[in-house]
Amino acid sequence: MEKKDILDQEKDFGFARVYGVELKYRQQPKLDRALLYEKMNLYTGKIEQPDREKTDDPALAVWEANEADKELLMHFFHLNYMVQYAEGEMPAQTSLLNFESRPAAEYETAIQQSWHWQEAAQTLNECNYSLLLVDMMASGLEPQARLQLFTGALRAVLEAAPCDAIYFRASDKLVEPQAYLAAIEEGAILYGAMNIRFYNVQGTGSGRAEGLMDSIGLAALGIPDVQCHFYDLDPSEVADHLMNIGYYLFHQGDVIADGETVGFSEDMRWRCEHQYALAAPHRVVIDIDPGEPYYAGRQGYTEADR
Out of 69-73, 77-81, 265-269, which region has the weakest mean confidence (pLDDT)?
Answer: 69-73
pLDDT at 110 over 50: yes
pLDDT in the model for residue 52: 41
pLDDT in the model for residue 300: 56
Q: Give the span between the Cα atoms of 68 and 48, in whole angstroms.
A: 24
Query: What angle is formed at CA 292 by the lines to CA 291 and CA 295, rounded to 5 degrees?
Result: 65
For the beta sheet containing 47-48, the strands, ordered from the edge strand earlier in sequence to the opposite edge, are 47-48, 60-64, 72-85, 88-99, 129-136, 20-25, 165-168, 173-175
- Chain-wide mean pLDDT for the chain? 86
pLDDT band at residue 87 under the 50/70/90 scheme: confident
- Average pLDDT, integer, range 77-101: 90
pLDDT at 77 over 50: yes
Q: Give the span between the Cα atoms of 184 and 192, in whole angstroms.
A: 9
Query: Which helix or strand (DSSP H or E) is residue 68 part of?
Result: none
pLDDT at 139 over 80: yes
Strand 173-175 versus strand 225-231 pairing type? unpaired
pLDDT in the model for residue 205: 63
pLDDT at 273 over 70: yes
User: Is residue 143 helix, strand or coil?
Assistant: helix
pLDDT in the model for residue 216: 97
Helices and strands in the chain, H and E counts? 7, 14
Q: Give the span between the Cα atoms of 241 and 272, in whole angstroms.
A: 13
pLDDT in the model for residue 302: 42
Q: Give the span between the Cα atoms of 68 and 165, in whole angstroms.
A: 29
Q: Which residues contact 216 (CB under 8 A, 6 or more apart)?
A: 170, 171, 172, 173, 194, 195, 197, 225, 281, 283
- Average pLDDT, integer, range 161-168: 98
User: What pTM, to 2 d.p., does this model score?
Assistant: 0.87
- Average pLDDT, integer, range 27-32: 93
Q: Give the span between the Cα atoms of 205 and 113, in whole angstroms.
A: 25
- Average pLDDT, integer, range 134-148: 95
Q: Which residue has the higher pLDDT, 292 or 121?
A: 121
Q: Which residue has the higher pLDDT, 244 or 13?
A: 244
pLDDT band at residue 64 under the 50/70/90 scheme: low
75 CB burial (10 A radius; 0-12, 13-18, 19+): middle
Are 156 and 42 in contact by the 8 Å Cβ rule? The answer is yes
Give which of 188, 137, 186, 131 is closest to 156, Cα–Cα.
Answer: 131
Out of 4-18, 118-132, 208-222, which region has the weakest mean confidence (pLDDT)?
Answer: 4-18
Give which of 175, 14, 155 is closest to 96, Cα–Cα.
Answer: 155
pLDDT band at residue 291 under the 50/70/90 scheme: confident
Out of 25-29, 202-206, 209-213, 261-265, which region has the weakest mean confidence (pLDDT)?
Answer: 202-206
Strand 270-276 versus strand 210-216 pairing type? unpaired
pLDDT band at residue 201 under the 50/70/90 scheme: confident
- Within 10 angstroms of residue 22's Cβ, the number of other Cβ atoms is 21
Percent of the chain whose pLDDT exceeds 90: 67
- The DSSP symbol for 304 reads G
Are 210 and 297 in contact by the 8 Å Cβ rule? The answer is no
Helix axes 143-160, 33-44, angle to 10 degrees: 150
Q: Which residue has the higher pLDDT, 31 or 48?
A: 31
